[in-house]
Amino acid sequence: MIKKRRAVSQAIGALFALAIVAVFGSVLVIQGVQGVQNFTSFLNIFEETEAKSAQEVFIVEHVKFNSTETYVNIDIWVRNTGKIDITIDKISIVKIDSQELIVSTEGIGKNIFQREVKQISFTSANVTMPTSCVCSDWEDVFRLEGSKEYRITVTTTHDKSVESVAGLFNS
């Protein structure tokens, strides 16, 4: 009795199955490598932002409130004492005792180079009169609430914030 041998057909079938597995496997490996690469890139960007934020060192050097009956100007001087240039993005001023938001300005975009002081000014158009005061103009605010304090928060584009407290008569 002679047996039929199927060695050639089994070998071709195994090679065909291997080719299919190799194609699908290589697609999965390539997608996996790309996913790992994208995640690594994301972490590098996050790490770079954190490193820059740590190098940003600045202070609110002086705050001056100027007022007449019809307008108010608030001048804030910010000094960059860090190792990199900074860009001021947001400034907010809050009346401490009533938590009223007096100034909230975003997108300022003021660049301050190393060891430089820049003045940032706000006019009546940017400043809201406190409602906790029974005042008709800014002269009344200065006369009736001269001893009140305000919290000034300055934030950079890398989300580094510095806070300072100032009164109306610290000019």
Domain that holds residue 38: 1-55
pLDDT of amino acid 132: 75
Choosing from 37, 55, 73, the residue where a domain stops is 55
Q: Are 130 and 145 in contact (CB under 8 A)?
A: yes
Same domain? 79 vs 97:
yes
Would you say how long the chain is, in residues? 171
Per-residue pLDDT of the chain (171 residues; tens, 9 = 90+): 566 666 667 778 888 888 889 988 999 999 999 999 999 888 887 777 677 777 889 999 999 888 776 777 889 999 999 889 999 999 999 988 888 888 899 999 999 999 999 999 988 888 887 777 777 777 777 777 766 888 999 999 988 999 999 887 654
Q: Check whether residue 66 and residue 43 sit in a common domain.
A: no
Query: Are both 36 and 71 inside the same structural domain?
Result: no
How much is the pLDDT for 42?
85
Considering the domain architecture, whether residues 5 and 70 belong to the same structural domain is answered as no
pTM above 0.75, yes or no: no
CA 77 to chain centre: 20
Kindly state whether residues 72 and 139 are assigned to the same domain. Answer: yes
Domain count, the chain: 2
Same domain, 36 and 83: no
Task: Assign residue 103 the CATH number of its domain.
Answer: 2.60.40.10
Q: Which stretch of DSSP H or E encloses residue 111?
A: strand 100-112
If we measure between CA atoms, which residue out of 121, 126, 77 comes closest to residue 103? 126
